[in-house]
């Protein structure tokens, strides 16, 4: 048990957010099992308030990039302020998201704010925000376990346009956008250090 826990930690500690992705194809079966894994997440009253839209169509990916970049440019120039731009300089990122039409798959995570019954009646989805957040954690873990990479993208203010493009119902709200694939051969990542255990764990015995 100790050895398994250590090996799993070492695998997950190697996870990085990767913004340079390869267009190399990924078997759809792998993506399906990643989504299945996310779907094992616990949820309030087992309502499973999540939808994962997987996009491989090049034309749709190009439209998604156009929508996201238009909003992101406004975020960087106006909405987020100078501190946001300065804090991100060390990561060398801006509003341009070329990985959105390079990655073989985009996974758009949507939160079901409420359920819809067969007759259109609303069904309460308890703790839907927390439930979807937990599912995303499992999704990221599954991506790493499969030997693939991603970067969590929060498409601020682009959610409604993305929902319309993807034909999603009104009860679903865009939470995250994840490009998934292999890292590009020339991909680099920041040499980040994580907090030591004694900075994140408090033992009460």
Task: Give the CATH number, domain containing residue 79.
Answer: 3.40.109.10
- Distance set, CA 9 to CA 12, 107, 145, 182 (Å): 5, 25, 11, 21
Rounded average pLDDT over 21-35 = 98
pLDDT at 90: 64
**Residue 202: exposure state from Cβ atoms within 10 A (0-12, 13-18, ≥19):** exposed
Residue 204 lies in a domain: no
Residue 91 lies in a domain: yes
pLDDT-derived band at 44, boundaries 50, 70, 90: very high
Q: Which of 102, 101, 107 is nearest to 182 (CA)?
A: 102
Number of domains in the chain: 1
pLDDT digits (tens, 9 = 90+) for 159-185: 999 999 999 999 999 999 999 999 999
175-198 burial, b for 16+ CB within 10 Å, e for fewer? Answer: bbbbbbbbbbeeeeeeeeeeeeee
pLDDT digits (tens, 9 = 90+) for 78-120: 666 677 666 666 666 776 889 999 999 999 999 999 998 888 8
**Which structural domain range is residue 18 located in?**
1-199
pLDDT at 120: 83
Residue 106 lies in a domain: yes
Angle, nearest 10°, between helix axes 128-145 and 2-13?
Answer: 90
């Amino acid at each position: 048990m100790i050895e398994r826990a250590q090996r799993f930690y070492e695998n997950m500690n190697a996870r990085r957010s990767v913004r340079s992705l390869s267009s190399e194809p990924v078997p759809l079966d792998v993506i399906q099992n990643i989504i299945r894994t996310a779907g094992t997440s616990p949820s309030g009253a087992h309502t499973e308030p999540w939808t994962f839209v997987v996009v491989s169509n090049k034309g749709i990916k190009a439209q998604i990039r156009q929508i996201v970049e238009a909003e992101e440019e406004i975020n960087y120039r106006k909405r987020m302020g100078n501190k946001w731009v300065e804090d991100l300089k060390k990561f060398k990122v801006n509003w341009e998201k070329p990985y959105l039409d390079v990655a073989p798959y985009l996974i758009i995570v949507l939160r079901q704010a409420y359920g819809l019954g067969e007759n259109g009646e609303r069904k309460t989805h308890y703790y839907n925000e927390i439930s979807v957040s937990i599912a995303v954690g499992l999704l990221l873990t599954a991506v790493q376990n499969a030997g693939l990479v991603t970067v969590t993208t929060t498409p601020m203010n682009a959610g409604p346009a993305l929902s319309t493009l993807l034909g999603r119902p009104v009860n679903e709200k865009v939470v995250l956008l994840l490009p998934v694939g292999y890292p590009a051969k020339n991909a680099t990542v920041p040499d980040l250090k994580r907090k030591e255990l004694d900075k994140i764990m408090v033992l009460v015995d």
